[in-house]
Amino acid sequence: MKKAFLAGVAFNVLLSGAAFADITIGVAGPMTGQNAAFGEQLRIGAEQAIADINKAGGVNGEQLKLSVGDDACDPKQAVAVANQFASQGVPFVAGHFCSGSSIPASQVYAEEGIIEISPASTNPDFTDKRAGDGIYRVCGRDDQQGEVAGKYIAENYKDDAVAVLDDKSAYGKGLADQTIKFMEAAGKKPAIVESYTVGDKDFSSLITKLKQANVKLIYIGGYQTEAGLIARQAKEQGLDTKIMSGDAIVTNEYWAITGNAGEGTLMTFSPDPRRNPQAAPIVAELEKQGKTAEGYVLYTYAAIQAWAEAAKKAGSTDFKKVTAVLNKDTLPTVIGDLKFDSKGDVTLPGYVIYEWKGGKYDYLSASK
């Protein structure tokens, strides 16, 4: 497959007489479906990164082009997207978003010699059971954010009933399990542990159960749609409780679903990259275009930056040469100077707690 692509490139170069050909790279995520808001974050970050890199001269004299893959956070569709990228001969993919997509897709990338850097897949298995040497992520891990959440809950709700819910997905259940693990290690057991199904819309019976248990905090391992509905329906049913979740509610769509019922919602997410001085011009440019730098926009930008910087240092897009740089060097990006460990995890600071107020999220503590 890759040989056929390379032969085609060589033929096209001969016909055109050009010294260089464009380099097509991929971005993959849920461009459609209920998590499309996150796919849009990945796409915005990728498009801006490519525009800025090309403006600065490209990679080794070649311009970058973007191929967008829609996996809809579905594992089978993610594998199809990965195979499509392989047929296009892309050397690198920024993606996927959902861990349940990244993990099976990474098998294809490993077999095809394609580097994958996920901006957002946080399940530990993505790197603990790494498919190959070219698999990385620039975000943190669920055991890291589960530790932050679990310890916070144990400390602040030690005498209150706490419920832990999950959506059964690789991300949601993995995050809920890690949060329970660290809660219990700190001496706090959840009063209720329940699962729901992605796509559920009516949580009234679940909320009745939570009311009967006098639950004061609901921790949700899942995505923004169901988390938002749970928060809203809990408020409508008179359940006076705090909502807490992970990085999958780092989108304005969460507030669009909850309205004022989302006030005070807590979540774990990495330190806000929008506050980094090196990110300021990118944030300003996106705002000028009427776009947002929320959530995983800058993480996607950084994933592409890291690969491009490594390819420049390697003087090539060759898999082995680029991974050698990624495995060894510290690379400057908009989210900080990146270095990957032996698993492909990033060594940047982990997670902090945010709070939703008035339709925006910010650090829970002003001292952070």
Q: What local confidence, expressed as pLDDT, does residue 15 receive?
A: 35
Query: How does pLDDT run across 182-229, given as a tens digit for each residue?
Result: 999 999 999 999 999 999 999 999 999 999 999 999 999 999 999 999
Contact 185, 214 (CB under 8 A): no
Q: What local confidence, expressed as pLDDT, does residue 7 receive?
A: 37
Q: What local confidence, expressed as pLDDT, does residue 350 receive?
A: 83
Q: What local confidence, expressed as pLDDT, does residue 20 receive?
A: 54
Same fold, 2-140+275-338 and 143-269: yes
Q: What local confidence, expressed as pLDDT, does residue 21 receive?
A: 75
C-alpha to C-alpha distance for 234 and 261, rounded to whole angstroms: 8
Residue ranges for the chain with pLDDT beneath 70: 1-20, 365-368
* Strands lying side by side in the sheet with 115-118: 64-70, 23-29, 92-95, 115-118, 135-137
C-alpha to C-alpha distance for 137 and 116, rounded to whole angstroms: 8
Mention every residue, 6+ apart, whose C-beta is less than 8 A from residue 179.
146, 149, 150, 153, 164, 219, 221
DSSP assignment of 254-272 equals HHHHHGGGGTT-EEEE---
Per-residue CA distances from 177 to 140, 209, 222, 308 (Å)? 16, 21, 12, 36
Domain regions of the chain by residue span: 2-140+275-338, 143-269
Class of domain 143-269: alpha beta
The 3-state DSSP class for residue 141 equals coil
Q: What local confidence, expressed as pLDDT, does residue 255 receive?
A: 97
Q: What local confidence, expressed as pLDDT, does residue 365 receive?
A: 66
C-alpha to C-alpha distance for 115 and 300, rounded to whole angstroms: 14
pTM across the whole model:
0.88
Residue type, 286: L
Yes or no: is domain 2-140+275-338 CATH 3.90.1150.10?
A: no
The 3-state DSSP class for residue 122 equals coil
The 3-state DSSP class for residue 33 equals coil
Query: How does pLDDT run across 251-291, given as a tens digit for each residue?
Result: 999 999 999 999 999 999 999 999 989 899 999 999 999 99
Contact 267, 246 (CB under 8 A): yes
